[in-house]
Amino acid sequence: MLDKPQRHVVFAESLDVAIEALAGGASVLAGGTWMMRAERRGEPLPASVVLLDRIPALSEVVVTDTGVTLGAGLTHVAVANALKGLAGLQGIVTAASSAANPAIRHAATLGGNLAASDFPAADLAPALLVQGAEVELASRSGSDRMPLGAFLAERRARLRSAILVRVHLPREAVASAHARLPLRKAGDYPVAIVSLARLPSGALRVAVGSVEPVARRWTALEAAIGTRPISPDEAARLALAHMDFEGRDGVEADGWYRVAVLPALVKRAMEDLEARA
């Protein structure tokens, strides 16, 4: 019988300890819902990990009249509870409270959801993108803030030497919504996600997740809608006319199907947005 490989675990009590462990080659472990299933995906578990759940600062929530700061260690359930009732942030609440299943939502963290570079179906990514979210990273050289969209594109390289510690949300949206399409054979993961946020100017932000490898804003649709009032049906027609996505093939759905359902998800999200506005 082959011996199981020895693994080294660092229980970080502070962010400084976690950063040093990362610099020493450890992989960051938060809720563990993605990493602990690595072997089922045919990937080896890391030989060294640093646990972040004992760092109090990563579970803090700060709410002001102009913004919200969320610690990256907050679970999906904690994110939903922290934002519930706050105007304009309803889409994030929906995303956090409908992702995966109850067991995962009580363990999976905000930071882990955004940091998993091989997980295109993260619900929180598009919901945060439409809010103009920024992420805060901590490393040996200090802290750094950057727009979420830029982080998602660069996260694999960024997270080699930095830890995602906070997400900053400006409170500028007047209403937001989140629509997802799961399939039975896809388990808990949606094959397509659409998030919307309405700004005081009337402008609409749109973001799409799970369709391509990385969630992104749908700027072509945003420009087509502008600031004018628009019905859910018209929004769906414009979505079809301004489709610029290349769907990814996966075991749960083909790429063409992910793209094909987007107009219907736009319509559903618009209906929810109208009701909330």
What CATH number has the domain spanning 175-276? 3.30.390.50
The whole-angstrom separation of Cα 88 and Cα 188 is 26
The whole-angstrom separation of Cα 57 and Cα 73 is 8
> Which of 54-58, 117-121, 139-143 comes out lowest in average pLDDT?
117-121
> Which of 19-23, 97-101, 198-202, 216-220 comes out lowest in average pLDDT?
97-101
Return the pLDDT at 277: 67
pLDDT tens figures, 230-266: 999 999 999 999 999 999 998 889 999 999 999 999 9
The whole-angstrom separation of Cα 32 and Cα 52 is 10
**Where does the pLDDT of residue 151 fall: very low under 50, low under 70, confident under 90, or very high at 90 and above?**
very high
For 205, the token pair is 């932000």
Share of the chain above pLDDT 70, in %: 92
The whole-angstrom separation of Cα 277 and Cα 270 is 10
The DSSP line for 113-175 is HHH-TT-TT-SHHHHHHTTT-EEEEEETTEEEEEEHHHHHHHHHHHTTTEEEEEEEEE---SE
CA angle in degrees (0–180, nearest 5) for 252-34-104: 85
Contact 161, 23 (CB under 8 A): yes
**Mean pLDDT across the stretch 77-104?**
95
The whole-angstrom separation of Cα 218 and Cα 100 is 24
The DSSP line for 68-113 is EEEETT-BHHHHHHHHTT-TT-HHHHHHHHHSS-HHHHTT-BHHHH
Closest by CA position to 113, among listed 157, 143, 77, 141: 77
Q: What is the DSSP letter of 4?
A: P
Q: What is the model's pTM?
A: 0.93
Share of the chain above pLDDT 90, in %: 81
